[in-house]
């Protein structure tokens, strides 16, 4: 595919809309962590713009009700895209653009809290696995 026909998704800015940190682990406690992620994209009806909303949770895998360790970050990214052939591709590409900021925020948060930096593994979304739902929640 020639470069002029490829999808181009550009992150124009982001903001953290929610951040939560809860750590009741004892000094030197080792835990198995689990990551949970959800990512949704809302599209403009009139422009080639969208907003990606990612909610990322890190929890103690063995804890019931997140009582000893929980990090939650909700981040919103504003994107522009060109040559839209598929919302699935925009969805996957916008996540790829936004995710490094989530990793950096969580690493910085844990370091600032006096813990070793928590480095989240790299994640991607396969465009073929994206479910696109058409509804009335579009940007204006």
Rounded average pLDDT over 5-24: 89
Q: Are strands 49-60 and 8-23 parallel, antiparallel or unpaired?
A: unpaired
Q: Hey, what domains does the chain have and what are their CATH numbers?
A: 8-129 (3.10.420.10)
Give the Cα separation of 35 and 98 in Å (integer): 16
Cβ neighbours for 66, distance < 8 A, ≥ 6 positions apart: 22, 59, 60
pLDDT confidence tier of residue 6, bands split at 50, 70 and 90: low
Torsion, Cα of 23, 118, 53, 99 (10° steps): 180
Does 1 have pLDDT greater than 80? no
Output the pLDDT for position 63.
Answer: 74
Q: Are strands 69-82 and 33-43 parallel, antiparallel or unpaired?
A: unpaired
Q: What is the pLDDT of residues 81-140, one digit of tens each?
A: 987 768 888 999 999 999 999 999 999 999 999 888 999 999 888 777 777 666 544 444
Model confidence pTM above 0.75: yes
Which is nearest to 12 in space by CA: 51, 66, 56? 51
Task: Give the Cβ contact number of residue 26 at 10 Å.
Answer: 6
Which is nearest to 40 in space by CA: 80, 77, 6, 5? 77
């Amino acid at each position: 595919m020639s470069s002029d026909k490829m999808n181009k998704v550009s992150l124009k800015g982001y903001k953290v809309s929610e951040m939560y940190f809860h750590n009741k682990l004892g000094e030197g406690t080792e835990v198995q962590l689990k990551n949970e992620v959800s990512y949704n994209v809302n599209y403009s009806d009139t422009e080639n713009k969208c907003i990606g909303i990612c909610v990322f949770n890190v929890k103690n895998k063995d804890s019931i009700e997140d009582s000893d360790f929980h990090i939650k970050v909700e981040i919103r990214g504003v994107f522009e895209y060109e040559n839209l052939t598929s919302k699935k591709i925009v969805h996957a590409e916008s996540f790829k653009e936004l995710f490094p900021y989530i990793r950096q925020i969580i690493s910085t948060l844990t370091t600032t809290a006096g813990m070793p930096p928590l480095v989240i593994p790299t994640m991607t979304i396969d465009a073929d696995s994206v479910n696109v739902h058409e509804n009335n929640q579009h940007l204006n």
